[in-house]
Amino acid sequence: MTAPGRFYQVSHLDELEAESIFVMREVVAEMERPVLLFSGGKDSIVMLRLAQKAFAPANIPFPVMHVDTGHNFPEVLDYRDQRVAELGLHLVVASVPDALAAGTVRESGDGMRNRIQTPVLLDAVEKHRFDALFGGARRDEEKAR
């Protein structure tokens, strides 16, 4: 029995995790074709783990999508493919190099591909008819990301 005036406290991190899981479950309940953006980076790894927790013991009920810039470390792609296989997920790859080759986007002179990832992402969303996208970003990051 809890002493009078004492109550269970949830840590801030546990509260954020619970809120994230709630949002994922609500989106899956309301939308037809959600997808999780997954690059293999730390933010998307956390999002994938949250999806596991949200739907356990069942499988994650949506695919993951990677917008491949063509500038990824091979180890990151290996990790991405390993996690997708372990979890039995469907992987959609939206390829910036393929879009460059097809002429649907053009690379800037500085070699940066950040700006041309957006049209590649939007094309893939339209092609696969995704109606909700899960993505992770840290609160301290620049908001345009």
Per-residue pLDDT tens over the stretch 117-143: 999 999 999 999 999 999 987 777 655
Range 32-51 average pLDDT? 95
Please spell the DSSP secondary structure of 92-116, one letter per residue: EEEEHHHHHHHTSS---TT---HHH
Average pLDDT over residues 17-30: 97
pLDDT score for 110: 79
Q: Which phi-psi region, left, alpha or beta, contains residue 3 (left: φ > 0; alpha: ψ -120 to 50)?
A: beta
Q: Per-residue pLDDT tens for 79-91?
A: 999 999 999 999 9
pLDDT band at 109 (very low <50, low <70, confident <90, very high): confident
Helices 42-55 and 12-30: crossing angle, nearest 10°?
70
pTM value is: 0.86
Q: How far apart are CA 52 and CA 61, in angstroms?
A: 10
Confidence class of residue 3 from pLDDT cuts 50, 70 and 90?
A: low
Tokens of 46: 């956390």
Round the average pLDDT of the chain to a whole number and report it. Answer: 90
Helix axes 74-87, 42-55, angle to 10 degrees: 0
Q: What is the structure's pLDDT at 52?
A: 97
Q: Give the model's pLDDT for residue 142.
A: 59
- pLDDT band (50, 70, 90) for residue 27: very high
